[in-house]
Amino acid sequence: MGEFVRCEVADGIGTIALTRPPMNALNETVQEGLRSAAAWASASAEVRAVVVYGGQKVFAAGADIKEMAAMSYADMAARADDLSSAFDAIARIPKPVVAAITGYALGGGCELALACDWRVVAEDAKLGQPEITIGLIPGAGGTQRLPRLVGPARAKELIMSGRMVDAAEALRIGLADRVVPAAEVYDAAVALVRPFVTGPQAALRAAKAAVDRGLEMPLPAALAWESQVFAGLFATADRAEGMAAFVEKRAPNFGAD
């Protein structure tokens, strides 16, 4: 998926790995690699869940500031939508996605983590949106996904101060879902999504879409959307198998609906 993003799959779990040492700075090449990786993970029938991983030392310490410093207003005005949509491509993978975070997840790195469904965080990791310290705001989803996750007041404090939070605080405020020793981060992320590999694939896709898209709507519209998605699952083989298994008091055998 490009020079700095590697994709592989094992036992139904795809790994999207950042490989731009030392800090996985998210330059344009990495951003476009993430877009391609998201397309791969979305389209591959072999991939049923995804881990986004930066390696044993660091998840991603932010954008490539040297690259951005050379850009004019006109340059960024032309690039900003592509920057945001590269991260949004990860958010729109229609499968369970977990970020495995070691070291730092700052700026764009934090925004990449926010684009995932869950975040497994190393005990010694640091997360944050420090863009304010260089006269900017988050520009790849941070001002929108962070308040939806931790609440608007807390998100404003983090974004406007630019401070980093440790793993314990991240867990307390809902920015992290699990905290484990650094050496166990990848394995813990795999363990989190492994149960979904054998689950009902259409229903899992529907659950993610119902939540994510519903959050973008007023409640009455979101409830109508949920009803449509719910009813649509009655056309799937996995729904028939799941209900038959329940009635027959046996474990379901879900296919690739």
Does residue 151 carry a catalytic annotation?
Answer: no
For residues 137 and 55, give the distance between their C-alpha atoms in angstroms, rounded to a whole number: 26
Q: Are 60 and 21 in contact (CB under 8 A)?
A: no
Does residue 74 carry a catalytic annotation?
Answer: no
Does residue 199 carry a catalytic annotation?
Answer: no
Residue from 122, 131, 139, 203 carrying the catalytic annotation: 131
Residues 6+ apart with CB under 8 A from 257: 200, 201, 202, 203, 236, 237, 238
Residue from 62, 108, 139, 242 carrying the catalytic annotation: 108
Q: What is the largest CA-CA distance in the chain?
A: 65
3-state percent breakdown (helix, strand, coil) of the chain, nearest 5 = 55, 15, 30
Residue from 49, 91, 109, 111 carrying the catalytic annotation: 111
For residues 213 and 234, give the distance between their C-alpha atoms in angstroms, rounded to a whole number: 20
Residue from 63, 86, 91, 206 carrying the catalytic annotation: 63
Does residue 169 carry a catalytic annotation?
Answer: no
For residues 33 and 60, give the distance between their C-alpha atoms in angstroms, rounded to a whole number: 14
Residue positions annotated with a catalytic role? 63, 108, 111, 131
